[in-house]
Structure 1
């Protein structure tokens, strides 16, 4: 290692520092500094004794700074940027606060993500606690217009409602098992017209049993077709699914009244991804018109999403006539999700209308 020759000025500086260490009387600090940043830095230096940061731009700057500090009677000889003339570069080595901030913020972020886990079963993550899992879910707990509800036909107002216009066209199948249900993301160009407002079909998904009840009874399953207006508001069409036809429609003279498998549902179940959370696009075309009943009369009311965050002001359109699926098709969904329906919510004083 090469010997470094100190300049006379640097030698003088070191001599001053040495004298300060051996003469405690000179190292006293009679009054605290008024600079808040200096106070924090002095505490750091207290532990590490004397810390001199990298040399400033010139020996002259360092000399002037040292002289000024000594003349003030400060015991901790720490040269800060504020002590140097403009252009000085000395500073105290202080722990990097941004780094600590990043580490500190990572844990709450992870907790926040974990807090969004929810389920349909009783327990800490169940429906009764959805509103406590995240501040975003407060509507689940405190909302006044929550869904699903029981639709009492005797209490529904019979009205001359405008028919729903389903302007649907085929779409490439894009299907995902999202951990709560089987969901199909639908392609652009399919819309719903109701009361002069147009909503775009975004996706549809399934619940077992049906979430909404008619006169206290739920059907085997339901498909929820979720639509969005350009202003962000939502309209959900509920298509009830049943394995049992009404008695009146099962009296055929030719005998067999068993329900055949629904071809549209078969296509979906055959293409459910093997991995949860993975979207599959198997190159199959589907037409959501095939899931609609022939009779499109409906009940309507204002409610909410039936999953967290339970956002309200959702227009609900519950088709009165169910479509029919086979027992095996319901059992296949049951093997994936035995139950994924939210409990019924209080109707309150909300108005439910029914097409005549």
Structure 2
């Protein structure tokens, strides 16, 4: 009888050490999983701090290659939690102005449904063309420009392999990396340059034969455009001498470009020729400056404009050659409004 009563208690007593012995073993089962997780997380190959330091070092080297590209992101490009990954969509959005000549909605420079007056109606992306308050180009009235001691533009250009395309709106050259300009302590990388006939900007109501627009981008995505006026007419002081004359001869740099324009629109040619954009800058680099926009859809604003006061000279034949491709590809002048235009004082 006593054995039957004590038997369950003794069974429980006997089971207790067994259960206690089991608990450490059960607690230790998850350990391999925890260790495995620890091994996976601990290396942290691309932390935010490391990414930030890498980009800062890249910029501080002054190599000119400072625009944030996919190469600045970790290999694989996923890393959804990193700051750079979060900013990737913004980088794509900012890249559009640099490739502003290519758009899904067809537009033209001539009157009609696709002309400048209707650019803003072609797409909601082009709303600034219609509603913007700081549009380009404008007429620069010298008498109303504020004369100021502006910092000189520092052109830090190097030669580049020629990459040229006729994109259906203009002739455009995509420039190689490593060429920059400095304006008020900000560095902009030269992305591309292209041409308009006649010049889009006017000085005292007059447009020159053509203009080259040099498009630059800061690493934050903001744009700066240098306008290099092109003329077939030298100043009135020009005169002939008995040993010859100083009439305008063909511009060698422009000849190189026109000789290599692709036969097919939309096709990029890389003929293995080196070019140097410094050859397209005038000796006198005084300038006008104002805040404006892109002159083609989507007409994005907050673009820094730097219009060189002195033109470069090209021959009439060179202008006629461009005319055979694009007789007119200049946007109409836009209201200046209350915008401030500054002009460098003659040095």
Alignment TM-score, normalising by the size of structure 2: 0.69
**Counterparts of 1:249 and 1:164, CA distance in 2:** 28
Alignment CA distance shift 1:114-1:143 (3 Å) = closer
1:212 aligns with 2:165: no
**Counterparts of 1:325 and 1:346, CA distance in 2:** 30
- Which secondary structure state, in structure 2, belongs to the residue aligned with residue 266 of structure 1? helix
1:127 aligns with 2:116: yes
Q: What is the aligned partner in structure 1 of residue 294 from structure 2?
A: 305
Q: What is the aligned partner in structure 1 of residue 41 from structure 2?
A: none
Asked if structure 2 preserves the Cα contact closer than 8 Å seen for 1:299 and 1:320, the reply is yes
Aligned counterpart in structure 2 of residue 337 of structure 1, from 318, 326, 339: 326
Q: What is the aligned partner in structure 1 of residue 147 from structure 2?
A: 158
**Counterparts of 1:255 and 1:281, CA distance in 2:** 38
Give the C-alpha shift of residue 251 in structure 1: 5.7
Asked if structure 2 preserves the Cα contact closer than 8 Å seen for 1:207 and 1:339, the reply is yes
Q: What is the aligned partner in structure 2 of residue 201 from structure 1?
A: 190
Asked if structure 2 preserves the Cα contact closer than 8 Å seen for 1:162 and 1:194, the reply is yes
Aligned counterpart in structure 2 of residue 149 of structure 1, from 121, 138, 141: 138
1:265 aligns with 2:266: no
Alignment CA distance shift 1:273-1:315 (3 Å) = same
1:110-152 C-alpha deviation (Å, 9 max, x unpaired): xxx9961000000000000000000000000000000000000
1:236 aligns with 2:236: no
**Counterparts of 1:225 and 1:248, CA distance in 2:** 29
1:325 aligns with 2:310: no
Aligned counterpart in structure 1 of residue 214 of structure 2, from 222, 225, 229: 225
Give the C-alpha shift of residue 248 in structure 1: 1.4
Compare relative contact order (CA 8 Å, sep 6+) and give the higher one, 1 or 2: 2
Unmatched tracts of structure 1, length 5 or more: 1-112
Aligned counterpart in structure 2 of residue 348 of structure 1, from 331, 337, 340: 337
RMSD after superposition:
1.3
Give the C-alpha shift of residue 250 in structure 1: 3.6
1:248 aligns with 2:244: no
Highest CA radius of gyration, 1 or 2?
1
Unmatched tracts of structure 2, length 5 or more: 1-101
Alignment CA distance shift 1:329-1:114 (3 Å) = closer
Q: What is the aligned partner in structure 2 of residue 15 from structure 1?
A: none
Give the C-alpha shift of residue 249 in structure 1: 3.4
Pairing 1:76-87 to 2, within 5 Å after superposition = none
Q: May I ask how many residue pairs the two structures share in their alignment?
A: 244
Give the C-alpha shift of residue 256 in structure 1: 2.0
Give the C-alpha shift of residue 254 in structure 1: 4.1
Alignment TM-score, normalising by the size of structure 1: 0.67
